[in-house]
Amino acid sequence: MNHFLDIHTTAPSDLRAMIDKAAEMKAARDGLPKGTPDAEQPLANHMVALIFEKPSTRTRVSFDVGVRQMGGQTMVLSGADMQLGHGETIADTARVLSRYVDMIMIRTFEEQTLMEMAEYASVPVINGLTDRTHPCQIMADILTFEEHRGPIKGKKVVWSGDGNNVFASFAHAAGQFGFNLTFTGPPTLDPSARVLDEARAVGAEITIERDPFKAVEGADLVVTDTWVSMHDPQSARERRHNQLRPYQVNENLMAMARPDALFMHCLPAHRDDEATSAVMDGPHSVVFDEAENRLHAQKAVMRWCLGV
């Protein structure tokens, strides 16, 4: 059973095969109208359940379109449509869905929900996001970097801001793909010790540098994410803004990176908070290529999960 739950629990050879397949599938679509089905239809006669306990734009659209391009069908379910972990146990829901569909993608809050779904499902389960990790996003980010700058192995990646779930998957990827990762942010928003331990266990080299300008020196890639969650109360938002303001990615900070450095943000962005519009729309930015590549990377992940 090929579940795709986290980057550090997936073999490096499999991760590399997925990135290469994603690039191949993207190239095969070059010049075709967006609605054109893929020449290969590896998901023909397959049904995929897309479960969203958290709202989404990119995850929902990219998975739905990806399944359809590959000849499959989707069933999109929200938390309001289901009794996930409330009226029915997650284990029972996993067992029931496995009788109806060929694969499950879940975007949820608690990591335990994902893990229990995978434990009891008899079909592959994909982590579309949890509060702890976001592996599909980082697969898209690796694909994006490599299509612009070649292999990411040995490159310097700098994360500026909050040590959140997206950073966690970047940390997991550092060892698996062989790049160096620097975190710069306030001590109150450091990545968890568990994340750092998991990343270092698979060979990641992670540096924590409080001075953002020093951290970004010589960077090949600078990455940030939104400072606030949609679920944060206003008081928490204000505290985070005060803590993170020195770590805004602006033109002065990007000037410390390599001249050909890339800038990424997984979106949605609060422009002129975590990154200025000048950077978001500037020559270093690949944020919309990054968003598009969620589609191609996730198609490769789904194919790997189903072995097709």
Question: According to the model, what pLDDT value does residue 20 have?
Answer: 98
Question: According to the model, what pLDDT value does residue 87 have?
Answer: 75
Q: Answer with the residue of higher pLDDT: 88 or 149.
A: 149
State yes or no: pLDDT of 83 exceeds 60: yes
Count CA atoms within 13 Å of residue 198 on its CB side.
Answer: 19
Question: According to the model, what pLDDT value does residue 80 have?
Answer: 76
Start-to-end C-alpha separation, the chain: 13
Model confidence at 55, pLDDT cuts 50, 70, 90, reads confident
Q: How far is CA 124 from the centre of its chain?
A: 18
Q: In what order do the strands lie in the sheet with 47-52?
A: 73-78, 47-52, 103-107, 125-129
Directed axis angle between helix 165-177 and helix 12-28, to 10°? 100
Query: With contact defined as beta carbons under 8 Å apart, do 302 and 21 qualify?
Result: no
pLDDT single digits (tens) 210-243: 999 999 999 999 999 999 875 666 767 788 899 9
pLDDT single digits (tens) 163-212: 999 999 999 999 999 999 999 999 999 999 999 999 999 999 999 999 99
State yes or no: pLDDT of 82 exceeds 80: no
pLDDT single digits (tens) 272-284: 999 999 999 999 9
Mean pLDDT of the chain: 95
Structure tokens given for 114: 């994902």
Cite the active site residues: 107, 134, 137, 225, 266, 294
pLDDT single digits (tens) 102-116: 999 999 999 999 999
pTM: 0.96
Residue whose token pair is 């978001």:
280
